[in-house]
């Protein structure tokens, strides 16, 4: 590797700043909006003239609380359960795909891919009818199942690719070193597989957390309605006021878990952890 020159460094900095601006400007804008008073919304300025917490008050303890808090609870519960199931199933499936040779291995992978290329919008109407008939409409399970169809394929693919890279000989090395089969798995394989599982979990969580179409179509009350759908039901204090400020505040709040999740697991998602185990 050669050291990069000064001009190169400057260019990289410029590009990085541009990309960051492009990606973060909307977030910053929503953040600013969430602190604006309703009258301030149309002021055309980026920053609020008066910083106010009234939007947060409104959704957390005020008039919109009945809409937002149950939705937040639904979102967290449904997403966590869906992610958990997806990761467990995908781990087992990917393990089999990576380690065993069985007929139909290809079929599983292609089916998973085929499932994920169906546009959500084309399934949602039949699903709506079916769910109403069998009583899954407006329930947690009624959302968890479609979320699994979104998260499972990508989880299986990511994990299978990840597991294929694990040097499974390490298990044998550990056994020769005096480990039982279980110890060998836990001490030599799990530490290498964990980052892949965490990465997959985060991806699955994002997908379920951000879903809007299923959330709005398959729910009708606060029994199961997740946040992205609930935002659509926000109203202003009067019908002439737009609820933009409250929606922004809610958007900021639902972003927090994602940021926390990434920060928390960042150390786990280190790539290249399997390097150096075996030759070549």
Partner 1 sequence: MASITLQNLVKKYGDGFPAVNDVSIDIDDGEFIILVGPSGCGKSTLLRMIVGLEDITEGELLIDGERVNDKAPRDRNLAMVFQNYALYPHLTVYENIAFPLRLAKGKHSEEETNKRVQAAAATLELTEHLERKPANLSGGQRQRVAMGRAIVRQADAFLFDEPLSNLDAKLRGQMRSEISQMQRRLGVTSVYVTHDQTEAMTLGDRVAVLKKGILQQIASPRELYEEPTNIFVAGFIGSPSMNFIPGQVENGKLQTVLGELEIPQHKLDKAEGKKIVMVGIRPEFFEDAKLVDEAKKPLGATFTTRLTHTEWLGNEQYGYMDFDPAPEVRDLLNSLAKDLDADELKPQIVVTLDSASRIRAGRDAELWVDTRKVHLFDPETGNSLTRDPEAGAALTQEAIQDRQDEIEAARSEANASGQQAS
The residue ranges that bind partner 1 (CB under 8 A) are 167, 169-170, 172-181, 183, 187-188, 191-192, 272-280
- Residue placing its CB nearer to partner 1 in the complex, 185 or 212: 185
Smallest distance, partner 1 to C-beta of residue 201, A = 19
Phi-psi region of 276 (alpha: psi -120 to 50; beta: other; left: phi over 0): left
Smallest distance, partner 1 to C-beta of residue 182, A = 11
- Residue placing its CB nearer to partner 1 in the complex, 171 or 211: 171
Angle made by CA atoms 123, 124, 130, in degrees to the nearest 5? 95
Q: What Rg do the C-alpha atoms of the chain give, in angstroms?
A: 23
Smallest distance, partner 1 to C-beta of residue 276, A = 3
Smallest distance, partner 1 to C-beta of residue 105, A = 16
- Residue placing its CB nearer to partner 1 in the complex, 86 or 192: 192
Report CA dihedral (78, 84, 85, 91) to the nearest 10 degrees: 160
Give the C-alpha separation, 8 to 199, whole Å: 32
Residue bearing tokens 């055309």:
44
- Residue placing its CB nearer to partner 1 in the complex, 98 or 154: 98
Q: How far is CA 270 from CA 160, 195, 214, in A?
A: 17, 7, 33
Give the C-alpha separation, 50 to 239, whole Å: 23
Smallest distance, partner 1 to C-beta of residue 60, A = 42
- Residue placing its CB nearer to partner 1 in the complex, 98 or 166: 166
């Amino acid at each position: 590797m050669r050291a990069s020159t000064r001009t190169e460094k400057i260019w990289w900095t410029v590009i990085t700043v541009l990309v960051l601006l492009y990606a973060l400007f909307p977030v910053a804008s929503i953040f600013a909006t969430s602190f604006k008073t309703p009258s301030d919304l149309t002021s055309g300025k980026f920053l609020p003239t008066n910083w106010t917490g009234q939007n947060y008050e409104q959704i957390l303890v005020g008039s919109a609380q009945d809409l937002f808090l149950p939705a937040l609870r639904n979102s967290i519960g449904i997403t966590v359960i869906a992610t958990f199931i997806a990761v467990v199933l995908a781990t087992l499936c990917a393990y089999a795909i990576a380690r065993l040779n069985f007929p139909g291995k290809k079929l599983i992978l292609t089916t998973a891919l085929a499932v994920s290329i169906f546009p959500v919008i084309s399934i949602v109407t039949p699903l709506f009818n079916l769910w109403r008939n069998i009583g899954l409409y407006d329930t947690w399970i009624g959302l968890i199942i479609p979320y699994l169809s979104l998260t499972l394929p990508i989880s299986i693919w990511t994990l299978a690719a990840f597991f294929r890279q694990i040097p499974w000989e390490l298990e044998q090395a550990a056994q020769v070193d005096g480990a039982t089969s279980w110890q060998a798995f836990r001490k030599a394989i799990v530490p290498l597989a964990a980052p892949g599982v965490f990465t997959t979990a985060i991806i699955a969580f994002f997908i379920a957390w951000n879903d809007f179409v299923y959330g709005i179509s398959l729910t009708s009350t606060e029994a199961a309605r997740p946040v992205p759908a609930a935002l659509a039901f926000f109203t202003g204090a009067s019908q002439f006021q737009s609820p933009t400020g409250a929606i922004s505040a809610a958007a900021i709040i639902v972003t927090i878990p994602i940021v926390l999740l990434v920060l928390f697991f960042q150390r786990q998602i280190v790539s290249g952890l399997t390097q150096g185990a075996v030759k070549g």
